[in-house]
Structure 1
Amino acid sequence: MLGEEAARESVIVALDCDKQIALELADRLRGKARWVKVGMTLFYAEGPSIVREMHDRGFKVFLDLKIHDIPFQVRGAARSASLSGADILSIHGLGSSAMIAQAREGVEEAAAKRDGDRTRLVAISVLTSMDQGSLSEVGIELPVKDEVARLAKLSFDAGSDGIVCSPQEAAQMRKLLGPEALLVTPGVRPVGSAVGDQKRVATPAAAIAAGASKIVVGRPITQADEPISAFECIVNELVKG
């Protein structure tokens, strides 16, 4: 159970759409939602300016780029993403501790240059569209929960502020990483919503109860007939627990 403001702070609305629709949704959600997610679909089309436009509308931005490259490139990418205004930035845990450490260096450099708060880093563990069969297909035979834990510990120890995991692993990750870790959980679906391409899902209240810091909800809000009503229903669910 959360207070109303805490509930609004806990929901990140995923704007995985084109700019016109994203701005229309943002304008409708202004004053109600606190966070939006800008992912690859929108960022690759519009670049850093879309982050600034969301800030201008009063939103904090989770820039979900899932950065994964050699450490040198990741340091520069994380620095640039931070300078664009990202409040949270995603990187891939599979990139190694050296890569994650360089991402941390990049966002710290950006914070010093812009004289503001440091962008927080969350490392992708196992995508919520993947299940045990998907992991085996790419040569990982560990159970999903064990692979998530392995990457979570590696990433957190190397400088990530937290991880991205499914709500089904949130309780385990909270216990593993402690109370200060930032746990961002996609794969959240209100009761009655279509699961779509997600495999490891839970309801908003279940995800928060399990230990998630923030939940990412896209299509159940953005594709609803009444997006504001859909968002408010999630807030009410979190308040009631």
Structure 2
Amino acid sequence: MQRPLIIALDFPSSVEVNTFLTKFEEEKLFVKVGMELFYQEGPSIIYSLKEKGHSVFLDLKLHDIPNTVGSAMKGIARLGVDIINVHAAGGSAMMNSAIEGLEAGTHAGQKRPMCIAVTQLTSTTEQVMNDEIWISKSLDDTVLHYASMAKRSGLDGVVCSSLEVPRLIENIGEDFVTVTPGIRLATDEVGDQARVVTPEKARLLGSRAIVVGRSITKAEQPLEAYHRINADWEGVTV
């Protein structure tokens, strides 16, 4: 995988998505479809985006018993998405089943979707993790443990904060993909995120991909915002 800027299409329906994408008619994008959009539109939104030539990260964070996740992944593989994810808290058996399901559902001669695991949401603080989720370890240690388990289970990478990427690179290696949400411009409001960095900082920390939502989708000029953020991410001057 290259180092994409993934736009989070956090819209309630395909109508809003199509209106937004009209501003990007000359661009082939990498986009994220999450629960809000997928639960309203279903597979049709994936087919529509792929027909337009966009790459798709289907962000459903599967977390269930191994058999259920494996069966779900067989169907997801047939959608033709580029990335799908599970939650690492489901454990190694579940993650193994996810890979088995993806491989079983991928058509012969095609590459299976990349599968990554959520470690801890970028809206989660260490205090919340300790006091509410009842994980007594440090946030950094928990993310590393989940990432290591995902690696052993055959996954391609993880979702984490860019702040945790250097330690993952040191302990797991650069080839293990790190997809990092919680990206904001220095002038943006943090919103409901807790562990945030700028696109430039994410690049310097070693992130392999960034996920950007409101900084682009809520901008007055989304295309200009996209190019500005992408320039910061790639380290080029515009």
Into which bin does the TM-score normalised by the smaller protein fall? over 0.9
Question: Of 102, 111, 120, which residue of structure 2 is paired with 1:117?
Answer: 111
**In structure 2, distance between residues paired with 1:28 and 1:55:** 17
Q: Does 1:40 align with 2:35?
A: yes
Partners of 2:69 and 2:187 in 1: CA distance: 39
- Report whether the alignment pairs 1:131 with 2:125: yes
**Partner residue, 2:222:** 227
Mapped pair 1:80 → 2:110:
no
The C-alpha deviation readout for 1:62-83, integer Å capped at 9, x for no partner, is 0000000000000011121121
CA apart distance, 1:237: 1.3
The aligned residue for residue 195 of structure 2 is: 200
Separation in structure 2 between the aligned mates of residue 38 and residue 27 of structure 1, nearest angstrom: 17
| Whole-Å separation in 1 of the counterparts to 2:101 and 2:80 | 13
Amino acid at match of 1:170: V
Indicate the structure with greater helix content: 1
Q: Which amino acid aligns with 2:202?
A: A
**Aligned twin of 2:177:** 182
CA contact (8 A) 1:83 1:114 kept: no
CA distance in 2, matches of 1:190, 1:227: 14
Give the superposed CA RMSD. Answer: 1.3
Structure 1 residues 172-203: Cα deviation after superposition (integer angstroms, max 9, x where no partner) = 11222212111100001112011110000100
SS at match of 2:110: coil
- 5 Å matches for 1:210-221? 210-221=205-216
Q: Which moved more, 1:27-36 or 1:170-179?
A: 27-36
Aligned counterpart in structure 1 of residue 153 of structure 2, from 154, 158, 183? 158
Give the gaps of 5 or more residues in structure 2: none
State the 1:27 CA deviation.
3.0
| CA drift at 1:239 | 3.3
SS at match of 1:118: coil
Work out which of the residue numbers 137, 141, 153 in structure 1 matches 2:136: 141
State the alpha-carbon separation in 2 of the partners of residues 191 and 17 from structure 1. Answer: 24
Name the structure 1 match of 2:85.
Answer: 90
**TM-score normalized by the length of structure 2:** 0.94
Amino acid in structure 1 at the alignment position of 2:123: S
Work out the CA distance in 1 between the residues paired with 2:92 and 2:167: 21
Amino acid at match of 1:185: T
Per-residue deviation, 1:238: 2.4
Among candidates 59, 63, 82, match of residue 64 of structure 1: 59
Percent same amino acid at aligned positions?
37
Does the CA contact (< 8 Å) of 2:66 and 2:98 recur in 1? yes
Measure how far apart 1:154 and its partner are: 0.5
Contact 1:69 1:95 in 2 (8 A): yes
SS of the residue corresponding to residue 99 of structure 1 reads helix
Unaligned runs of 5+ in 1: 1-5
Distance 1:114 1:126 in 2: 34
Cα distance in 1 for partners of 2:178, 2:233 equals 16
Cα separation, 1, equivalents of 2:28 and 2:186 = 20
Return the alpha-carbon distance in structure 2 between the equivalents of residues 183 and 160 of structure 1. 11
AA in 2 matched with 1:192:
T
Could you tell me how far apart the structure 1 residues matched to 2:138 and 2:64 are?
Answer: 25
**Is residue 69–residue 99 contact of structure 1 (8 Å, CA) maintained in 2?**
yes
1:17 matched residue in structure 2: 11
Per the alignment, in what secondary structure is the counterpart of residue 138 of structure 1?
coil
Instruction: Indicate conservation of the 8 Å contact 2:74/2:102, yes or no.
Output: yes
Deviation at residue 33 of structure 1 after TM alignment:
4.9
Aligned length: 233
Whole-angstrom CA distance in 1 between matches of 2:28 and 2:199: 15
